[in-house]
Amino acid sequence: MCRNIRQLHNFDPHATQEEIDDAALQYVRKISGSNKPSKANTVAFERAVEEVSAATRKLLDSLVTSAPPKNREEEAEKRKARAAARFA
């Protein structure tokens, strides 16, 4: 499940809100142990996703680096190559 959480810092263009929300959802799913919460836990689950997303945005906005930004397409190709080697 957590393999879907990708590095979001130091990319050009910056991480989108959708990418941040997707990572927050994966994180909450992992720590809650549930892909889809019960009706009784839906509000808490959704609130947690919103809070993790907000904290992630704050973190990304405050991080500083002197490294050049990474290229999204190049990083995606590296991930595909690693996955192909792992599952070949």
Q: What is the pLDDT of residues 2-45, one digit of tens each?
A: 566 788 999 888 899 999 999 999 999 999 999 999 999 999 99
Q: What tens digit of pLDDT does each residue of 54-73 get?
A: 999 999 999 999 999 998 88
Residue 1 has a pLDDT of 47
Total number of domains constituting the chain: 1
pLDDT computed for residue 76 by the predictor: 85
* Sheet strands (E) in the chain: 11-12, 70-71
More confident residue, 1 or 58: 58
Determine the structural domain holding residue 9 and report its residue range: 2-87
- CB-side exposure of 31: number of CA atoms within 13 Å? 10
